[in-house]
């Protein structure tokens, strides 16, 4: 009986300078992918990825395309090295990674998706420029505690839980002052760590409404294919296998929370045995190993990871 597997892709925050540089130098098909990406974007993304400062790579307009490129490149590397495709039953991606999942599930071709992601990143930056928002990570509190803190600011402005990352790790997003006050309350409530995030604005919150409205118009004009396998939506944490549901999910994730914990729980309930994570970092597989120790997790961000898997 074939194993039940899932393919997942990293999101913004996982980017690091040097990602894919060795792969670019070593594998012609990855060099071709990245060179073509520069043409699609009409700027030299590879120099930013390989040699730029971390600060420049962290900029939304660069980080999002770079993560799409690296995630898909790492998947192609695995397929090339093993000579086979992963017979996954589901796919998912953290925020931006949901777009990479759309490429993997053949909803959209890579070049078309890269152009979409470039537009998404620029619209998100525009939304940030129009508002005064930020984000903070809260580690060490239960979901109910964070929900209670957020609820205490109801009616005072915008403040939401924007990411459910794990059972004890959440991100809040909203007006700068409210995020600051809520962070102080989280520390008083016993949070192990409260980390202000170095971001341009309040992602996955109502402050992204400008990007949400504009992406709706753009996505309506894009031809999307029926997914070859269901994509678990960040917005609903349930699988979508219909074009219009995928389209709506990509739009709604801009102003709605990323339900990543719920997504991982869904994988476990679906009796997934092996999870393949492609792209820089090992954040998601690290969370999964903590939550579900019996689930096999394979993270591929370089060819050295392939060697480790074969040993």
pLDDT at 2: 62
Distance CA 278, CA 137 (A): 23
Pairing type for strands 5-9 and 274-278 reads parallel
Q: How many CA atoms lie within 13 A of 2 on its CB side?
A: 7
Q: Is the dihedral of CA 299, 301, 306, 311 positive or negative?
A: negative
Q: Is the dihedral of CA 119, 123, 124, 128 positive or negative?
A: positive
Encoded tokens for 243: 């074009």
Distance CA 56, CA 87 (A): 37
Distance CA 105, CA 62 (A): 24
Do residues 214 and 123 lie in contact, with contact meaning Cβ atoms separated by under 8 Å? Answer: yes
| Residues in contact with 144: Cβ distance below 8 Å, sequence separation at least 6, in sequence order | none
Q: Please count the other Cβ atoms lying within 10 Å of the Cβ belonging to residue 148.
A: 13
Which of 92, 79, 72, 37 lies closest to 285, judged by CA? 92
Encoded tokens for 165: 């990352």
204 noted as active-site residue = yes
Q: What's the distance, CA 82 to chain centroid?
A: 25
Alpha helices in the chain (DSSP H): 21-26, 28-41, 45-50, 54-58, 60-82, 97-104, 110-130, 143-151, 176-188, 209-221, 243-252, 260-269, 283-291, 303-310
pLDDT at 198: 81
Do residues 196 and 139 lie in contact, with contact meaning Cβ atoms separated by under 8 Å? Answer: no
Mean pLDDT by 10 residues, the chain (311 residues): 82 88 95 97 96 90 95 94 87 94 97 97 94 95 97 97 95 97 97 91 95 95 96 93 95 95 92 91 84 90 72 49
pTM: 0.94
- Of all helices (H) and strands (E), which one includes residue 90? strand 90-93
166 noted as active-site residue = no
Coil/strand/helix, residue 135: strand
Site of tokens 């898997």: 309
Instruction: Give 297's strand partners.
Output: 275
Say which of 101, 105, 162, 204 is annotated catalytic. Answer: 204
Say which of 37, 70, 95, 166 is annotated catalytic. Answer: 95
pLDDT at 115: 97
């Amino acid at each position: 009986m074939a194993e039940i597997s899932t393919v997942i892709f990293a999101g913004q925050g996982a980017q690091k300078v040097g990602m894919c540089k060795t792969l670019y130098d070593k594998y012609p098909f990855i060099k071709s992918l990245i060179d073509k990406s520069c043409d699609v974007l009409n700027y030299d993304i590879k120099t930013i990825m390989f040699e730029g400062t971390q600060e420049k790579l962290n900029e939304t307009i660069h980080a999002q395309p770079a993560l799409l490129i690296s995630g898909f490149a790492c998947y192609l590397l695995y397929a090339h090295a093993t000579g086979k495709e992963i017979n996954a039953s589901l796919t998912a991606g953290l925020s931006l990674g949901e777009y990479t999942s759309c490429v993997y599930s053949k909803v959209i071709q890579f070049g078309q998706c890269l152009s979409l992601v470039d537009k998404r990143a620029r619209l998100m930056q525009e939304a940030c420029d129009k508002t005064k928002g930020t984000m903070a990570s809260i580690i060490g509190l239960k979901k109910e505690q964070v929900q209670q803190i957020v609820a205490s600011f109801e009616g005072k402005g915008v403040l939401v839980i924007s990411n459910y990352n794990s059972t004890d790790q959440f991100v809040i997003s909203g007006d700068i002052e409210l995020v600051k006050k809520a962070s102080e309350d989280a520390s008083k409530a016993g949070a192990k760590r409260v980390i202000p995030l170095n971001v341009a604005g309040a992602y996955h919150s109502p402050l992204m409404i400008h990007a949400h409205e504009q992406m709706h118009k753009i996505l309506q004009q894009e031809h999307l294919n029926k997914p070859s396998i269901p994509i678990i939506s960040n917005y609903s944490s349930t699988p979508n296998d219909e074009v219009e549901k995928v389209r709506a999910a990509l739009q709604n994730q801009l102003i709605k929370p990323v339900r990543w914990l719920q997504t991982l729980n869904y994988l476990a309930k679906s009796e997934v045995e092996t999870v393949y994570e492609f792209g820089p970092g090992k954040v998601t597989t690290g969370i999964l190993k903590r939550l579900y120790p019996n689930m096999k997790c394979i993270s591929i961000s370089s060819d050295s990871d392939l060697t480790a898997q074969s040993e």
